[in-house]
């Protein structure tokens, strides 16, 4: 499969069971990867009414949708069968939801 010069449509689909923060992180990582794979996607920088300039956005938009975990595999397979470009973010790539606990100070001696 050859890379298209500019995708006609682009969408991110995340696991609907993810907490909001992890879903947002997954979508952000995927969006960065899409931008790296298709650097021509962002449009020109856009000035607003106050004259502030905003970096180019993807003119076609980049919707973020949710699907059940079992549906994600089927969507991926269908996209690959249709020779669409697929970028994954496997669950194994996600950081742990809680960092390992480290005591901030030694425990005081216990009375006997």
- pTM for the model: 0.69
Contact 35, 41 (CB under 8 A): yes
User: Residue 8: what pLDDT?
Assistant: 76
Local confidence band at 102 (pLDDT 50, 70, 90 cut-offs): very low
Q: What is the mean pLDDT of residues 32-61?
A: 87
Where in the chain are the domains? 12-44+55-90
pLDDT at residue 103 above 50?
no
User: Residue 94: what pLDDT?
Assistant: 56
């Amino acid at each position: 499969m050859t890379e298209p010069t500019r995708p006609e449509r682009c969408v991110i689909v995340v696991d609907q069971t993810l907490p909001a923060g992890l879903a947002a992180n997954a979508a952000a990582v995927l969006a960065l990867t899409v931008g790296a794979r298709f650097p021509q996607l962002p449009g020109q920088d856009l000035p607003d009414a106050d004259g502030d300039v905003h970096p180019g956005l993807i003119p076609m938009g980049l919707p973020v949708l949710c699907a059940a975990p079992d549906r994600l595999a089927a969507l991926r397979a269908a996209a690959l069968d249709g020779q669409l470009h697929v970028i994954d973010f496997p669950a194994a790539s996600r950081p742990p939801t809680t960092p390992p606990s480290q005591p901030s100070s030694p425990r005081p001696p216990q009375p006997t």
